[in-house]
């Protein structure tokens, strides 16, 4: 019995009549998961929030490309005196140079989300193939890879990121100069692939002896085909779940790096805003801190809830509450 | 603090005992892990963590020994770990204070390097060392403008007609502190020969003194002595009895210093000899101490001053105690106007030092130091930038809370100037004076001081700060640093013509990456954006910054300097063409007129003529605009009202002898 069928057996079948036929017809793991996810109201609200954030970041990128001068793009404009508290004209007050904190916060979404996406891609690109190869081949290859990631994970995470960010700063890679923000997402990506690598390795080891892999082997498929065509698609939902949960950690890493002065120097980011606020708080200027943390809080919360729901619906065996989705 | 330390100690012994009684090894190691985690929160507590680690190791060793029967191995491990445990147990807790002792309590923000005056350059070592060692002259504690008065010398030097020979009489009855390097452990009397020895020691190349540049090419025969030491095979081989013509002691209480004749380009004559003789690098050290302690002398200072070293725990604290062999000195009985009202003359004519002990706690972070100050455990402090609003109201007064705590505020004009410098070796900037001036006009200095220094600092209208004797009161009217964006825009058009096209994006190097520098950088960028000039801020750590500036590869850079002597030389030598990078002239500025005046002024004693030359040089430099001057710093310090005679001094460090504590007020302080 394939794993999929096993899952289907464990999950209680839907009761409503209209959907009976659809339920009985075979659904892919993904369609099944999405169907379950769609019933989770809170998760859908969260996904809307996430989409909004992404749209915001995307439109800022677009506006920058096209040179539009609207909304958050005008963050550098002086809209009032320095350190004006929130009022009806400046909803979230102003910073040291009289810039609108609201605009800075919106603009900050671009930096954070870009960093997170790029860093995730880097870490997935490293972690997933390494994990799959280690899990499939075992033996010497496995030992080397495990040794590498064990070593890497034994170094405190923040120190490692800092070291990478410092080393990568102002270096050039393939003729492209790594400025502040590029160095940041490379640093985060290069240091954070251990978790996903471990996860995929474990899962591949588990799947290796399953019937569908044995079947592929008996057909004489090449190893590459088995790993990338058969094994990876069956464990890839883990990558998505991991990504959605790790998203928050990446945002925090960006914030911490900016806070330590290694991030974006000239343009606003949430980390830089919090860093500024550290000094300003003692003079009673709380609005920059509140604006940046609220932005991070909302996105983190949405991502966490959505990530949990996604995990539960894609991997129902893991759920804490079996009856939650049916 | 001591009490809390004891509490931690007690708690730890409890845990030690309890973990010994736990039989299951897993439970013990879990406890240990938790404890390790818990205790790593502070460096001092790492010590305790070490204890647990050693305990864990020794316990495992015993177990191993029992199991495997390797008794000897087990025994050795136990002995080893027990000794580790003992070592870990030795931690630097401060000695207990007597109730009626007068103790000055200060904070040092970094650990000090060493207490050997011949090789002392970092300011924190100088602060501590100046209480132990004395030089021939010192600055008058109260009088302003700053004035030199004799300290180890009997009087001011007799200077020959040709201004080249200085005859200095030395005080009788000055004794080195008691130390085991002297026969019988009793300090001997100070002789003129000690000064000769100490100066030769600075010249000795085997000693590698950082202070040699002060004496380079100035005293007859001293450079030859340095050459001679180059040929010695080791430090022990250097013969200090070798004669140096310009450095002699005709008798025990007379020192004669001969200066080199000024050659054609006027580079050697040295009117500032007396200020150099007030520097701690010229303080006498006893040959006995140098021989006895060898390289260890940096931690065994043997001086003539009012205090001597008692305890020095590197990275933790330094404690000096009153030197019983000190000859005695009296508190000055005259000062500048207003000193009597400020209470600085209350102790006039009394014997100093007042304090029995001086204690410096080494604390790297400003915030904990500030909290110690509020608790009354430190006498004085600077105001941490972040706590400014807690301390001061918008009108520049102390907040009611501070007043209620009887905390006093002192402002003090630091002889310093800060600027954005232009690298005159850069192609774009060097041949484009309108561009440089446009940048200078584009910066709103008043706004800068308002935003970044809470309106505390002064706008720099010229190079020489207002506290210096050669300050030009009319410099503001010249308008070199006025804020005039319209003029800047006009000049930029001119600059583009000279450049022959659009100006490239200019780069400004900032010596830091933290919030302060980032905001400062944004401020400059915004100012220059307003007049239509594009700049890129480059934030870097200080070593990178220094390397860029010193290799002439920084286009523009933010920096500043403060005077080390009450003479504008420190500001003007930065523009002398012979001192180009890696020397002091980071601007790589060169102007023959300026150089000529500089050489002329260098050989003049401090006089009206010298000051006039300084002012002319300042105008030449400002006209060429090698820097956009920004501000002069004004320092704000706070102290508790029990801390008496706390008058700020820009150049002197050995001031602990004047300070006094009002013991009743200190005892009454409640935090």
pLDDT tens, per residue, chain A with 326 residues: 555 666 555 555 555 555 555 545 566 777 878 888 888 889 999 999 999 999 999 998 888 888 887 777 788 888 888 888 888 888 888 888 888 899 999 998 888 888 888 888 999 999 999 999 999 999 999 999 999 999 988 988 888 888 887 787 767 776 666 666 787 788 888 888 999 999 999 999 999 988 989 999 999 999 999 988 888 888 888 887 888 778 778 877 877 777 676 777 678 888 888 878 877 776 778 898 999 889 989 988 898 888 888 878 877 665 555 444 44
What three-state secondary structure class fits B57? helix
| CA torsion angle A306 A309 A310 A312 (round to 10) | 160
- Position B635 scores a pLDDT of 85
Q: Which DSSP letter does residue B384 get?
A: P
Give the separation between CA A160 and CA B159, rounded to whole angstroms. 63
Q: Which residue, among B370, B389, B393, B541, would best test binding to A if mutated, counting the most A CBs under 10 Å from its CB?
A: B389
Give the separation between CA B605 and CA B626, rounded to whole angstroms. 28
Going from the N-terminus, what domains does chain A have, and what CATH number goes with each? 36-71+82-323 (1.10.3720.10)
Subunit contact B522:A261, Cβ cutoff 8 A: no
The closest CB to that of B387, out of A82, A96, A282, belongs to A282
Give the separation between CA B451 and CA A94, rounded to whole angstroms. 13
Give the separation between CA B618 and CA B612, rounded to whole angstroms. 10
Count A/B contacts: CB-CB distance under 8 Å.
40
Distance from CA of A143 to the nearest CA of B (A): 28
B65-102, pLDDT tens digit by residue?
555 556 666 667 667 666 665 655 444 444 555 677 89
Q: Which DSSP letter does residue B233 get?
A: S
- Residue B317 dihedral angles phi and psi, to the nearest 5°: -160, 165
Report the candidate in B110, B112, B116 with the shortest Cα–Cα distance to residue B281.
B116
- Position B373 scores a pLDDT of 92
Q: In which band, very low, low, confident or very high, does the pLDDT at B601 lie, cut at 50, 70 and 90?
A: confident
What three-state secondary structure class fits B536? strand
Give the separation between CA B637 and CA B649, rounded to whole angstroms. 12
Considering only residues 424 to 483 of chain B, which have any Cβ-Cβ distance to chain A shorter than 8 Å?
A: 451
Instruction: Return the percentage of chain B with pLDDT > 70, whole number.
Output: 84
- Output the CA–CA distances (angstroms, integers) from residue A33 to A46, A315, A326, in the order listed: 17, 8, 12
Residues paired with B258 in a beta bridge: B165
Q: What residues of B are in contact with residue A82 (Cβ under 8 Å)? A: 451
Specify whether the CB–CB gap between A80 and A91 falls below 8 A: no
Alpha carbon A67 to its chain centroid, in Å, reads: 28
- Copy the structure tokens of residue B182: 């002297």
Q: Is B429 left (phi over 0), alpha (psi -120 to 50) or beta?
A: alpha
Q: Which residue, among A283, A284, A292, would best test binding to B if mutated, counting the most B CBs under 10 Å from its CB?
A: A283
Specify whether the CB–CB gap between B206 and B289 falls below 8 A: no
Alpha carbon B466 to its chain centroid, in Å, reads: 22
- Residue B509 dihedral angles phi and psi, to the nearest 5°: -90, 130
Subunit contact A265:B521, Cβ cutoff 8 A: yes
Taking CB atoms within 8 Å and a gap of at least 24, the contacts of B394-397 are B396/B455, B396/B456
Specify whether the CB–CB gap between A184 and A257 falls below 8 A: yes
Report the candidate in B303, B323, B320 with the shortest Cα–Cα distance to residue B311.
B320
- Position B132 scores a pLDDT of 95
Q: What residues of A are in contact with residue B516 (Cβ under 8 Å)? A: 279
Q: Report the predicted TM-score, pTM, of the whole model to 2 decimal places.
A: 0.71
Nearest-by-CA chain B residue for A263 = B513
- Position A149 scores a pLDDT of 92
Q: DSSP labels for B539-605?
A: E--HHHHHHHHHTT--SEEEEEEE-SSSSTHHHHGGG-GGGBTTSSBTT----HHHHHHHHHHHTS-
- Position A304 scores a pLDDT of 84
Nearest-by-CA chain B residue for A283 = B389
Q: Tell me the H-state helices in B133-221.
A: 192-203
B439-459, pLDDT tens digit by residue?
999 999 999 998 888 788 899
Distance from CA of A267 to the nearest CA of B (A): 9
Q: Does B386 touch chain A (CB under 8 A)?
A: yes
Q: pLDDT averaged over chain B?
A: 83
Whether the predicted pLDDT of B249 surpasses 60:
yes
| Mean pLDDT value across residues B635-662 | 91
Whether the predicted pLDDT of B325 surpasses 80:
yes
Specify whether the CB–CB gap between A162 and A260 falls below 8 A: yes
| Mean pLDDT value across residues B27-48 | 38
CA-atom Rg of chain B in angstroms: 29
What end-to-end distance do the CA atoms of chain A give, in Å? 23
Nearest-by-CA chain B residue for A76 = B526
Comparing B368 with B48, the larger pLDDT belongs to B368
- Copy the structure tokens of residue B508: 């400004």
Distance from CA of B528 to the nearest CA of A (A): 13
- The winner for highest mean pLDDT among B135-139, B509-513, B517-521 is B135-139
Considering only residues 501 to 530 of chain B, which have any Cβ-Cβ distance to chain A shorter than 8 Å?
A: 513-516, 518-519, 521-523, 525-526
Contacts of B637 (CB under 8 A, 6+ apart): B380, B381, B382, B383, B409, B410, B412, B646, B648
Nearest-by-CA chain A residue for B538 = A265
Distance from CA of A265 to the nearest CA of B (A): 7
Give the separation between CA B209 and CA A156, rounded to whole angstroms. 41
- Output the CA–CA distances (angstroms, integers) from residue B255 to B193, B221, B275, B277, in the order listed: 8, 15, 16, 12
Contacts of B563 (CB under 8 A, 6+ apart): B415, B416, B465, B468, B570, B571, B650, B651
Q: In which band, very low, low, confident or very high, does the pLDDT at B599 lie, cut at 50, 70 and 90?
A: confident
């Amino acid at each position: 019995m394939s794993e999929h069928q096993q899952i289907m057996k464990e999950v209680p079948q839907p009761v409503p009549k209209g959907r009976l036929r659809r339920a009985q017809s075979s659904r892919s793991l993904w369609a099944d998961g999405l169907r379950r996810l769609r019933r989770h109201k809170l998760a859908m609200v969260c996904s809307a929030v996430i989409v909004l954030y992404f749209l915001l970041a995307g439109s800022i990128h677009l506006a920058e490309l096209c040179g539009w001068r609207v909304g958050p793009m005008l963050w550098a404009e002086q809209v009032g005196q320095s350190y004006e508290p929130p009022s009806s004209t400046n909803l979230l007050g102003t910073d040291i140079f009289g810039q609108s904190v609201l605009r800075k916060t919106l603009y900050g979404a671009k930096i954070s989300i870009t960093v997170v996406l790029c860093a995730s891609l880097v870490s997935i690109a490293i972690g997933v193939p390494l994990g799959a190869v280690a899990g499939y081949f075992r033996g010497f290859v496995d030992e080397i890879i495990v040794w590498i990631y064990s070593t890497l994970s034994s170094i405190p995470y923040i120190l490692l990121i800092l070291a990478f960010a410092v080393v990568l700063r102002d270096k050039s890679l393939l003729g492209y100069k790594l400025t502040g923000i590029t160095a940041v997402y490379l640093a985060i990506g290069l240091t954070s692939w251990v978790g996903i690598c471990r996860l995929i390795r474990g899962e591949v080891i588990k799947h290796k002896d399953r019937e569908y892999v044995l079947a592929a082997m008996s057909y004489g498929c090449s190893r590459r085909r088995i790993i990338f065509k058969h094994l990876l698609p069956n464990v890839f939902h883990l990558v998505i779940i991991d990504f959605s949960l790790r998203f928050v950690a990446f945002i925090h890493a960006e914030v911490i790096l900016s806070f330590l002065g290694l991030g974006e120097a000239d343009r606003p980011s949430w980390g830089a805003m919090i860093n500024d606020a550290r000094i300003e708080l003692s003079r009673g200027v709380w609005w920059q801190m509140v604006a940046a943390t609220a932005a991070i809080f909302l996105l983190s919360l949405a991502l966490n809830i959505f990530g949990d729901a996604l995990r539960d619906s894609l991997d129902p065996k893991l759920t804490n509450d079996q009856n939650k989705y049916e | 603090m001591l009490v809390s330390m004891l509490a931690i100690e007690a708690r730890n012994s409890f845990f030690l005992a309890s973990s010994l009684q736990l039989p299951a090894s897993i439970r013990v190691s879990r406890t240990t892990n938790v404890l390790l985690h818990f205790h790593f929160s502070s460096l001092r507590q790492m010590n305790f963590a070490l204890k647990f680690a050693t305990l864990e190791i020794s316990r495992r060793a015993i177990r191993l020994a029992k199991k495997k029967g390797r008794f000897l191995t087990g025994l050795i491990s136990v002995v080893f770990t027990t000794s580790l445990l003992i070592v870990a147990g030795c931690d630097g807790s401060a000695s207990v204070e007597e109730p009626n002792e007068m103790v000055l309590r200060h904070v040092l923000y970094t650990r000090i390097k060493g207490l050997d005056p011949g090789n002392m350059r970092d300011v924190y070592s100088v602060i501590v060392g100046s209480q132990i060692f004395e030089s021939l002259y010192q600055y008058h504690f109260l009088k302003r403008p700053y004035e030199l008065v004799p300290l180890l010398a009997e009087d001011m030097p007799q200077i020959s007609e040709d201004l080249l020979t200085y005859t200095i009489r030395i005080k009788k009855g000055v004794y080195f502190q008691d130390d085991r390097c002297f026969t019988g452990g009793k300090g001997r009397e100070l002789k003129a020969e000690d000064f000769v020895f100490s100066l030769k020691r600075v010249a000795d190349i085997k000693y590698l003194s950082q202070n040699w540049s002060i004496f380079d090419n100035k005293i007859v025969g001293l450079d030859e002595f340095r050459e001679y030491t180059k040929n010695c095979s080791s430090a022990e081989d250097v013969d200090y009895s070798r004669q140096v013509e310009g450095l002699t002691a005709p008798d025990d209480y007379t020192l004669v210093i001969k200066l080199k004749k000024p050659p054609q380009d006027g580079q050697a004559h040295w009117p500032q000899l007396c200020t150099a003789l007030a520097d701690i690098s010229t303080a006498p050290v006893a040959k006995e101490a140098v021989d006895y302690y060898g390289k260890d002398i940096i931690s065994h200072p043997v001086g003539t001053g009012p205090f001597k070293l008692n305890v020095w725990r590197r990275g933790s604290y330094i404690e000096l105690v009153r030197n019983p062999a000190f000859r005695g000195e009296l508190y000055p009985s005259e000062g500048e106007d207003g000193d009597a009202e400020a209470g600085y003359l209350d102790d006039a004519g009394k014997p100093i030092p007042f304090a029995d002990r001086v204690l410096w706690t080494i604390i790297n972070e400003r915030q904990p130091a500030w909290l110690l100050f509020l608790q009354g455990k430190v006498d004085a402090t600077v105001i941490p930038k972040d706590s400014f609003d807690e301390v001061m109201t918008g009108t520049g007064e102390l907040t009611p809370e501070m007043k209620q705590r009887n905390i006093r505020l002192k402002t003090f004009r630091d002889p310093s100037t800060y600027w954005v410098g232009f690298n005159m070796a850069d192609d774009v900037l060097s041949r484009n004076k309108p561009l440089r001036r446009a940048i200078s006009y584009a910066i709103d200095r008043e706004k800068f001081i308002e935003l970044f220094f809470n309106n505390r600092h002064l706008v720099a209208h010229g190079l020489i700060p207002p506290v210096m004797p050669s300050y030009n009161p009319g410099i503001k009217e010249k308008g070199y640093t006025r804020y005039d964006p319209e003029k800047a825009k006009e000049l930029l058009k001119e600059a583009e013509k000279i450049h022959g096209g659009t100006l490239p994006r200019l780069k400004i190097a900032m010596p830091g990456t933290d919030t302060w520098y980032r905001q400062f950088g944004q401020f400059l960028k915004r100012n220059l954006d307003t007049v239509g000039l594009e700049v890129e801020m480059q934030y870097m750590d200080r070593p990178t910054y220094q390397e860029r500036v010193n290799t002439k590869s920084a286009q523009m850079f933010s920096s500043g300097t403060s005077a080390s002597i009450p003479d504008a030389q420190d500001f003007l030598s930065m523009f002398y063409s012979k001192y180009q990078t890696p020397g002091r002239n980071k601007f790589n500025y060169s102007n023959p007129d300026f150089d000529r005046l500089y050489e002329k002024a260098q050989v003049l004693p401090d006089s009206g003529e010298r000051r006039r030359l300084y002012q002319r040089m300042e105008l030449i430099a400002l006209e060429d605009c090698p820097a956009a001057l920004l501000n002069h710093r004004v320092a704000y310090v706070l102290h508790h009202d029990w801390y008496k005679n706390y008058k700020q001094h820009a150049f002197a460090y050995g001031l602990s002898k004047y300070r006094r504590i009002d013991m009743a007020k200190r005892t009454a302080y409640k935090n």
